[in-house]
A and B are shown apart, each in its own frame.
Chain A
């Protein structure tokens, strides 16, 4: 069974640009969550999607958005990039949701904003 797949693995952007990251969950998983990992802050929750609906949202500005498609694949978008957005962005999937069971993580997308 294939794991969680995130693309691209690495990305370099400049301030002011926008970026879209993609996540394909484990087959059959309907919940996709996104996390931002930075050295000083650990893993911070961005949002969770379940059956194409955003179910939970973390404390991030509106520049961070996401969506989920009918096949459960998810994308997250960051507009007007700032230097502080440089981080590892992790996607995780689960069967029923991020509020009651373990998550399966992808390897992440390392975003560098110059």
Chain B
């Protein structure tokens, strides 16, 4: 059973517009959520995180929103840049379990 779901395998956005990547989770024990970004031939790198006691965390062009009642989080990138083109993984932690990742969403930012 997949505990962290990223239902969109890919997303294309024009440069300068907003990119919205979505993630759903099923485990109510999750209390900390992270987004990682991965370029080809490199390991994932940490992007931004949010604790379950918050509903929003912002870092520059990146904002993560958490809706606990819907068990849903989203990553907003604005404005999107060509260098943002990568695979984005949503991940969650809780209840002393290791980090659980979604399958990833491939973002393509078109110039």
Contact = CB atoms under 8 A, between A and B. Distances in A.
Contacts of B101: 35, 42-45
Interface residues of B, number: 23
Given A99-B97, A100-B93, A92 B103 contact: no
Interface residues of A, number: 24
Contact of A99 (B41, B89, B96, B103): B96
A107 B89 CA distance: 16
A15 interface: no
B4 to A, nearest CB: 9
Interface string A98-111: 11101111111000
A90 B93 contact: no
B60 interface: no
Contacts of B32: 100
A56 interface: yes
B49 A90 contact: no
A42 B32 CA distance: 19
A42 B45 contact: no
Contacts of B99: 33, 45, 98-99, 103
Contacts of A104: 46
A70 interface: no
Contact of A56 (B6, B36, B42, B98): B98
Contact of B103 (A33, A42, A102): A42
Given A56-B98, A99-B97, A105-B44, 14 more contacts: A33-B99, A35-B101, A40-B103, A42-B102, A42-B103, A43-B44, A45-B98, A58-B98, A90-B44, A98-B93, A99-B98, A99-B99, A102-B49, A105-B45
Interface of A: 4, 33, 35, 40-45, 48, 56, 58, 90, 92, 98-100, 102-108
